[in-house]
Amino acid sequence: MLFSDATPGMGRGFNTVGLRNATLLLGSTLTVMAGAIIAPALPEISREFAHLPRAELLSKLILTLPALFIALMAPLAGAIVDYSGRRRVLLASFLLYALAGTTGVWLPGIYLILVGRALLGVAVGAMMTSIVTLIGDYYQDKARSRLMGYQAAFASTGGLVFITTGGLLADVHWRYPFWIYAVALIILIMAWFSVNEPGRARVLPGHTLPGRLLFRQIPRQVWWVYAVAFFSFAVFYMIPVQMPFMLSALGGVSNAEVGFAIAFMNVTAMITAFNYARIKRRFDFPLLMALVYLLVAAGYFVISQAVSYFMMIAGILVSGLGFGLQMANINLWLVNLAPANIRGTLVGYLNAFIFMGMFLSPVIFQPVISLSSLYHAFGVVALLLLLLAWGLAVSYRRGYWTPAVDRG
């Protein structure tokens, strides 16, 4: 532990470790799947605004636009987190998340809703950067690996609970899933009482904002982690972006069933995420990413051959095994490589690459879809993942990857 567990002003002897950990982990449930909460409502939203040009595209943007603004905000959030403090950014992000997330309940038009979704992205970018940086500050070695795994598991749990609930609410009205974002107000209260600012070396602005001083401190391998993160999460977001339309096309599938299907990915993801620290002891970071790609490839191949609702769920469950390891492995890989004085900044850049991959996911895979079909797109991606898994394994055995060390 790098600092006292007592939060100033909380009273002598008040131990906040459990509440603080719960806050960080519950906060993680609001992050990666933030956009996907309303995924089950996408077909209904598309029908609601069918009178507008490109209504289907606009409805998909409601899902993916937060990812763009997370990507744009995250580097700035990282610099602010390093320069002005983790606690302030975290508290502000919870409040903005609740306010912006619920705008879909009361804003009248789809364009105004998109503005709210952009602000939601700003909130998530700041929130994710703060949480991952705080875990890196609070913990080292095995404890850090364990908390990163738990963070990914809780993110998956949030996906399971929130997307399932979103599907049920979408069957009542397409606006109702937006109420889920108000949960952030509860976690804001928890954070206010439990999260204290970690002691750290003072960071000069030139060392956090883009420039020579910063780039000189960034280990080369960090750039490879960013590339892996971008591609991996573009692949990950194929499920919430493309699956609602594939499932709806089957006929007789309700919004709730769409939500259940997408949420099932998080069932198996929780299993591997909770066991991440144990699995990590057997694999170095590149080899563990190769395992992730193999599992996701297997799941996507099943999806590409699916002829029924339950066969699609089977593919989603298999791919979830890989996705449960993906987030924890990429976050821990980066945190172990990052110098402590610019950790928040580099985590911010990581989140930018992650969510830019999510935002561009429909664009990246649209050419394959246009030339063939959604089913073929999942098959092509499965093949590409197999090739990348082989490439990671071969390059690791040839010594191209420098082992990542815990930098405290």
Mean pLDDT of 210-238: 81
- Count of domains for the chain: 1
Residue 81, domain CATH: 1.20.1250.20
Average pLDDT score, the chain? 83
Most confidently predicted of 157-161, 271-275, 390-394: 390-394
How far apart CA 305 and CA 307 sit, in angstroms, is 7
pLDDT bin (cut points 50, 70, 90) of residue 392 is very high
258 closest CA partner among 147, 129, 169: 169
Find the range with the poorest average confidence among 181-185, 227-231, 311-315, 350-354: 350-354
How far apart CA 59 and CA 75 sit, in angstroms, is 27
pLDDT reported for residue 213 = 52
Please check whether residue 358 is in contact with residue 233, taking contact to mean a CB–CB distance below 8 angstroms: yes
pLDDT reported for residue 200 = 57
End-to-end C-alpha distance for the chain, whole angstroms: 10
Note whether residue 97 is domain-resident. yes
184-194 vs 86-101: helix crossing angle, rounded to 10: 170
Find the range with the poorest average confidence among 6-20, 116-130, 323-337: 6-20
Note whether residue 3 is domain-resident. no
Burial class (CB in 10 A: 0-12, 13-18, 19+), 120: buried
Note whether residue 65 is domain-resident. yes
pLDDT reported for residue 405 = 60
Top pLDDT among 17 and 234 is at 234
Note whether residue 73 is domain-resident. yes
Note whether residue 315 is domain-resident. yes
Structural domain boundaries enclosing 129:
17-197+205-397
* Res. 139: pLDDT tops 90: no
Note whether residue 404 is domain-resident. no
pLDDT bin (cut points 50, 70, 90) of residue 305 is very high
* Res. 378: pLDDT tops 50: yes
How far is residue 65 from each of residues 256, 277, 360, measured CA to CA in Å?
A: 23, 33, 10
Question: Taking the complete model, does pTM exceed 0.85, yes or no?
Answer: no
pLDDT bin (cut points 50, 70, 90) of residue 233 is very high
Note whether residue 96 is domain-resident. yes
Listing DSSP states for 20-88 in one string gives: HHHHHHHHHTTTTTTGGGGGGGHHHHHHHTTTSTTHHHHHHHHHHHHHHHHHHHHHHHHHHHHHH-HHH
pLDDT bin (cut points 50, 70, 90) of residue 210 is low
pLDDT bin (cut points 50, 70, 90) of residue 52 is confident
